[in-house]
Amino acid sequence: MNKIYQLFNLQSGEEDKNKVKEDVQSNISFKGANLWILACAILIASIGLNVNSTAVIIGAMLISPLMGPIVGSGFALATYDFSLLKRSAKNLFIATIAGLIVSCIYFYLSPFKDVQSELLARTSPTIYDVLIAFFGGIVGAVSITRIEKGNPIPGVAIATALMPPLCTAGFGLATLNFKFLVGALYLYSINCFFIALSTFIVLKYLKYKPVQTQNPSLDKKVRISISVVMSLLIIPSFYLAYNLLQEKKFTQNVETFIQNEFLNNGHTVIYKNVNFRSKPKKIELAFLSQQLDSLEIARYNTKLEDYGINNTTFTVRQNNADLKQEILSELNKNQSDITEKDLKIQQLNELLKAKTFGDSILEKEIKILFPDISQIYFGTLNQYSDSISNNKIILYQSEKLIDENKLQQWIETKYATKNIIIQKM
């Protein structure tokens, strides 16, 4: 048992506690070099998010000094140092406001305001973000109390990303996208709080002595005040972590429900809207060709409980003329890397519902000529420029490659037209 204790003993290699306090205090204030580093980190992170460069964003995380006041807050709470707590909170607030203003100005002036994947990744916190911030904070707290600081600090700066969500909030402010603003600030707040909380726990475990003054009555009031603050912070944190865990479980159960009930049965889902925060929770789907009546929808609603999905309504969007435009709008908004080809396929999928071209006889003929084709869909596409052109559309599914040129030549000869579009799904 003694060997096991020594293996996990944090007192071994521990730095002098007064030296640790000095180091923590020196990294709290944003003035001089720290202020220049903060400003540069904000701009670098904003540029990285703007051009969707992971390497640039990682660089901004490494040079960002935001960890200083957060660790200082955890240190102050653990040692009942009210003065240090006020300084840390003040400097963290200043750094946060500075980050919002500078990133907002950058994104407002930048001609490129496309929503990139790196921006999207900072708008929806999950339970994993809580765990990363908490355990990353523990590593950071242990590292600052060591004589040999080692390599963990850069890794902690990358794992517990603080600058990217703050700059993403600046993007939301610049573009008046309040969903981005709120989501990114939420993630930033989670990271700040759980880093401070893990620092508090580590320093308590290492028995850092509370600050003493010549006034015992004041010492008692400070301890009571900070204990109340910690209680007010810790209690909501459990609710936050629990809520994020429930949201993750709900999302996984919904994906299993859709996979088992629809995708495995050959139904193509072209639209999905899952809302965990509405009351009741909501699952809304639309299919490429499948139509469900009210009895089938009611049956699927009763099946939700079999998948552990409670207090949720399941609905299907059918015969909605605005659905195509809504899907394309969402794709443009949330997937900046989508190509014109992808958008065209989405348009074709919607237009297939109006089968004005093709019939069962043509389908049989094609399958005889091309037996590797498993599914065929027909449609028309009206294109408007200087004139109106009507294109015939054929979408097909095949596990093997087929000669599309041969199929196109045969269709063009059969229908005496050149307006044929053939696309593999």
For the sheet with 312-316, list strands across it.
269-275, 281-287, 312-316
Residue-wise pLDDT tens digits, 230-265: 777 677 767 777 888 888 899 899 999 999 998 888
pLDDT digits (tens, 9 = 90+) for 348-393: 555 444 444 556 677 778 877 888 888 887 776 555 444 445 667 7
Q: Please list, in sequence order, all residues whose beta carbon lies within 8 angstroms of the beta carbon of residue 281, skipping any fewer than 6 positions away.
A: 250, 275, 309, 311, 312, 313
Instruction: For residue range 71-87, list pLDDT tens digits in order.
Output: 888 888 888 888 888 89
**Number of Cβ atoms within 10 Å of the Cβ of 154:** 12
Could you tell me the two tokens for 261? 């009930």
pLDDT confidence bin for 204, thresholds 50/70/90: confident
Q: Which helix (H) or strand (E) holds 295?
A: helix 294-303
> Which spans in 52-177 are helix H?
54-63, 67-79, 82-109, 117-120, 127-144, 152-159, 163-174
Per-residue model confidence (pLDDT) at position 110 = 87
pLDDT-derived band at 210 (thresholds 50, 70, 90) equals: confident
- Domain residue ranges of the chain, discontinuous segments joined by +: 2-211, 354-424
Helix (H, G, I), strand (E, B) or coil at 389: strand
**Phi, psi (5° rounding) for residue 261?**
-85, -25
Q: What span, in angstroms and rounded, lies between the C-alpha atoms of 193 and 197?
A: 6
Arithmetic mean of pLDDT over the chain: 79
The position carrying tokens 């003993």 is 9
Per residue in 278-330, pLDDT (tens digit) is 888 999 988 877 788 888 899 999 999 899 998 999 998 876 555 555 555 55
> Dihedral of the CA atoms 401, 404, 406, 408 (nearest 10)?
160
336 vs 218 pLDDT, higher one: 218
| The pLDDT value given to residue 105 | 92
The secondary element (H helix, E strand) that includes residue 342 is helix 340-351
Q: Is the pLDDT of residue 209 over 60?
A: yes
326-343 pLDDT tens trace: 555 555 554 544 444 555
In the prediction, which pLDDT does 417 show? 73
User: What is residue 320's predicted lDDT score, i.e. its pLDDT?
Assistant: 54
How far is the CA of 122 from the CAs of 160, 164, 228, 317, in angstroms?
Answer: 12, 7, 31, 30
Return the pLDDT at 354.
42
Is pLDDT of 94 > 80? yes
CA atoms within a 13 Å half-sphere pointing along the CA-CB vector of 417: 11
The H-or-E segment that residue 384 falls in is strand 373-384
Q: What was the pLDDT predicted at 197?
A: 86
Q: Assign domain 354-424 one CATH number from 3.20.190.10, 3.40.50.300, 3.40.630.30, 3.30.300.30.
A: 3.30.300.30
**pLDDT for 133-157, tens place per residue?**
888 888 888 888 888 766 666 677 6
Report whether 41 contacts 65 (CB < 8 A).
Answer: yes
The predicted model gives 51-55 an average pLDDT of: 85
